[in-house]
Amino acid sequence: MSYIFNRELSNVSMIIREIEYLDRKLMIMRVPKRVSPAVSAISVSAANAPQYGKDVVSYRLSNASSRYAACVLYRGVENIAPPYYFGNAFYAVYTGKINGQPSAFWLGSDQVSAATPQGPGSNYALAPLNLGSKNDLACFVFGVPPQSAIEILEGGIPDAAQINVMTAYEVTLGSPGSFCVQYNQQAVKQYILQTGYSVTPPPDPFPENTVPVTPIQKGIPDNEIYTGQYVKAGGCT
């Protein structure tokens, strides 16, 4: 099958600095005692990337297979954040604009044929991660063409050596549909307070047309980073 992500292209978006702005008072510290190794066509490595700015880490997602593959990134940083899915903390912020710039988009099609993101400065895709419950987790999803690699960036990590959990879980794409997205309003307020950025968050909850993704293996972590942040199939009532 060939795949194509629907997306609005932008030139260069701001680097996501998610971990840097986490509020420990709001964070959920419940994490799996053991993180299962990924059964995946995609491998991940990380390195410091000072060429992109202070405290920026570059993740390299490599696909050695002969088919297109997509994944979500589960990582944690020693003394800063427990492991959780990249994008899960502030997806409500990313849905809108930060200082007038779009920073992410919701996955709009189950067809993908190009690298997602197209480059390290491009916007990332959000999607509901289906882990078998009635509530899905929202996070970034990345697509890697066969026999190739893509680079993604995350700011706010002083040293890549501090990343103590880093796993790319491969996912399959479902059918486009209507979803209701809810989020922790206090987390958004804390993000704005800590960053000083101009952010216009969406209503809580808000409707979104997007594509769910499902891990190819069972038993992967199901923890969120803030309470009350879920995506449900169907409209908002």
168-215 pLDDT, tens digit per residue, is 999 999 999 999 999 999 999 999 999 999 998 899 999 999 999 999
Please report which confidence band the pLDDT of residue 228 belongs to, taking 50, 70 and 90 as the band edges.
Answer: very high
What separation, in Å, do the N-terminal and C-terminal C-alpha atoms of the chain show? 36
Give the strand pairing for 124-129 and 137-144. antiparallel
User: Between 10 and 84, where is the model more confident?
Assistant: 84
Whether pLDDT at 6 is above 60: no
Residue 109 has a pLDDT of: 74
Q: What is the pLDDT of residues 97-122, one digit of tens each?
A: 899 888 899 998 766 666 788 888 78
Residue 84 has a pLDDT of: 95
Please report which confidence band the pLDDT of residue 4 belongs to, taking 50, 70 and 90 as the band edges.
Answer: very low
H or E segment to which residue 193 belongs: helix 185-195
Q: What is the DSSP string of 36-76?
A: PPP-SSEEEEEEE-GGG-TTEEEEEEEE-SSS-EEEEEEEE
Whether pLDDT at 7 is above 60: no
The reported pTM is: 0.91
H or E segment to which residue 92 belongs: helix 91-95
With a pLDDT cut of 90, the percent of the chain lying above it is: 72
- Tell me phi and psi for residue 74, to 5 degrees: -110, 120
| Average pLDDT estimate for 56-85 | 95
Please report which confidence band the pLDDT of residue 13 belongs to, taking 50, 70 and 90 as the band edges.
Answer: low
Contact status, residue 210 vs residue 107, Cβ threshold 8 Å: yes
- Tell me phi and psi for residue 60, to 5 degrees: -110, 115
